Amino acid sequence: VSVLYWRGAVGGMTHNQVLMAVVRKRTMDTRVAIRRSPLAVVDPCPRLATWERDCNVARCRNCEAEFTLLKRRHHCRSCGLIYCGDCSKERKVVRAVGREPCRVCVLCMDSPL
Protein backbone atom coordinates (compact mmCIF):
# COMPACT_ATOMS: atom_id res chain seq x y z
CA VAL A 1 0.00 0.00 0.00
CA SER A 2 2.79 2.45 0.86
CA VAL A 3 4.35 1.86 -2.58
CA LEU A 4 1.06 2.83 -4.22
CA TYR A 5 0.89 6.00 -2.08
CA TRP A 6 4.43 6.91 -3.13
CA ARG A 7 3.64 6.25 -6.79
CA GLY A 8 0.45 8.27 -6.43
CA ALA A 9 2.29 11.20 -4.92
CA VAL A 10 4.85 11.10 -7.73
CA GLY A 11 2.23 10.56 -10.45
CA GLY A 12 -0.03 13.35 -9.22
CA MET A 13 -2.90 11.07 -8.18
CA THR A 14 -5.44 12.31 -5.65
CA HIS A 15 -5.97 10.52 -2.35
CA ASN A 16 -9.22 8.95 -3.63
CA GLN A 17 -7.56 7.73 -6.84
CA VAL A 18 -4.84 6.03 -4.79
CA LEU A 19 -7.42 4.39 -2.51
CA MET A 20 -9.40 3.10 -5.50
CA ALA A 21 -6.19 1.67 -6.99
CA VAL A 22 -5.52 -0.16 -3.72
CA VAL A 23 -9.07 -1.56 -3.67
CA ARG A 24 -8.81 -2.71 -7.31
CA LYS A 25 -5.47 -4.40 -6.65
CA ARG A 26 -6.76 -6.23 -3.57
CA THR A 27 -9.90 -7.29 -5.44
CA MET A 28 -7.87 -8.69 -8.31
CA ASP A 29 -5.49 -10.47 -5.90
CA THR A 30 -8.47 -12.07 -4.16
CA ARG A 31 -10.06 -13.20 -7.42
CA VAL A 32 -6.78 -14.75 -8.65
CA ALA A 33 -6.28 -16.57 -5.34
CA ILE A 34 -9.83 -17.94 -5.43
CA ARG A 35 -9.49 -19.12 -9.05
CA ARG A 36 -6.40 -21.06 -8.05
CA SER A 37 -8.13 -22.54 -5.00
CA PRO A 38 -9.72 -26.00 -5.33
CA LEU A 39 -12.63 -24.78 -3.18
CA ALA A 40 -14.36 -22.06 -5.18
CA VAL A 41 -16.55 -19.55 -3.36
CA VAL A 42 -19.83 -18.49 -4.92
CA ASP A 43 -19.20 -14.77 -4.32
CA PRO A 44 -15.48 -14.10 -3.88
CA CYS A 45 -15.92 -10.35 -3.32
CA PRO A 46 -19.15 -9.61 -1.46
CA ARG A 47 -20.21 -6.01 -1.95
CA LEU A 48 -21.31 -3.65 0.77
CA ALA A 49 -24.89 -2.51 0.37
CA THR A 50 -25.41 1.10 -0.64
CA TRP A 51 -27.04 2.80 2.32
CA GLU A 52 -30.22 4.72 1.89
CA ARG A 53 -29.99 8.40 2.90
CA ASP A 54 -31.68 9.21 6.21
CA CYS A 55 -33.26 12.39 4.86
CA ASN A 56 -35.10 10.44 2.12
CA VAL A 57 -36.99 8.14 4.50
CA ALA A 58 -39.78 9.21 6.88
CA ARG A 59 -41.24 5.76 7.66
CA CYS A 60 -39.98 2.24 8.32
CA ARG A 61 -39.74 0.14 5.15
CA ASN A 62 -41.43 -2.81 6.87
CA CYS A 63 -44.06 -1.63 9.37
CA GLU A 64 -44.56 1.95 8.07
CA ALA A 65 -43.95 3.42 11.56
CA GLU A 66 -43.09 7.12 11.40
CA PHE A 67 -39.63 8.08 12.64
CA THR A 68 -39.47 10.55 15.53
CA LEU A 69 -36.90 11.60 18.11
CA LEU A 70 -37.72 8.46 20.09
CA LYS A 71 -38.24 6.06 17.16
CA ARG A 72 -34.89 6.14 15.41
CA ARG A 73 -33.75 5.02 11.96
CA HIS A 74 -31.48 1.99 11.63
CA HIS A 75 -29.73 0.76 8.48
CA CYS A 76 -29.79 -2.93 7.67
CA ARG A 77 -26.15 -3.90 7.08
CA SER A 78 -27.19 -6.46 4.47
CA CYS A 79 -29.56 -4.53 2.16
CA GLY A 80 -28.81 -0.93 3.24
CA LEU A 81 -32.46 0.08 3.66
CA ILE A 82 -33.76 1.95 6.71
CA TYR A 83 -35.97 0.28 9.32
CA CYS A 84 -37.17 1.04 12.82
CA GLY A 85 -35.51 -0.65 15.80
CA ASP A 86 -38.25 -3.29 16.09
CA CYS A 87 -37.86 -4.35 12.46
CA SER A 88 -34.05 -4.41 12.55
CA LYS A 89 -33.22 -5.90 15.94
CA GLU A 90 -31.97 -9.23 14.57
CA ARG A 91 -28.25 -9.89 14.22
CA LYS A 92 -26.60 -11.99 11.53
CA VAL A 93 -23.12 -12.38 10.04
CA VAL A 94 -22.94 -10.41 6.79
CA ARG A 95 -19.85 -11.45 4.79
CA ALA A 96 -19.39 -8.04 3.21
CA VAL A 97 -19.20 -6.40 6.65
CA GLY A 98 -17.08 -8.90 8.57
CA ARG A 99 -17.21 -11.92 10.84
CA GLU A 100 -19.17 -10.37 13.70
CA PRO A 101 -22.98 -10.50 13.74
CA CYS A 102 -24.44 -7.11 12.84
CA ARG A 103 -27.86 -5.46 12.60
CA VAL A 104 -30.10 -6.79 9.83
CA CYS A 105 -33.77 -6.32 9.00
CA VAL A 106 -36.37 -9.06 9.40
CA LEU A 107 -36.45 -9.60 5.63
CA CYS A 108 -32.69 -10.18 5.33
CA MET A 109 -32.69 -12.34 8.45
CA ASP A 110 -34.94 -14.83 6.66
CA SER A 111 -32.89 -14.84 3.45
CA PRO A 112 -30.25 -17.58 3.12
CA LEU A 113 -27.31 -15.26 2.21
Mean pLDDT by 10 residues, the chain (113 residues): 48 65 61 47 61 91 93 92 93 87 89 67
d(CA 96, CA 85): 22
Distance between CA atoms of residues 90 and 92, nearest Å: 7
CB 54 within 8 A of CB 82: yes
Q: Which of 19, 41, 21 is nearest to 30 (CA)?
A: 41
Q: What is residue 49's predicted lDDT score, i.e. its pLDDT?
A: 79
pLDDT of residue 6: 47
**pLDDT value, residue 44:** 47
CA distances from 17 to 8, 24, 25, 27, 97 (A): 8, 11, 12, 15, 23
Amino acid 11: pLDDT: 59
Q: H-helix or E-strand containing 103? A: strand 101-104
pTM summary value = 0.57
- Nearest Cα residue to 83 out of 109, 56, 65, 97: 65
Beta-carbon contacts of residue 66 (< 8 Å; ≥ 6 apart)? 58, 59
pLDDT at site 68: 93
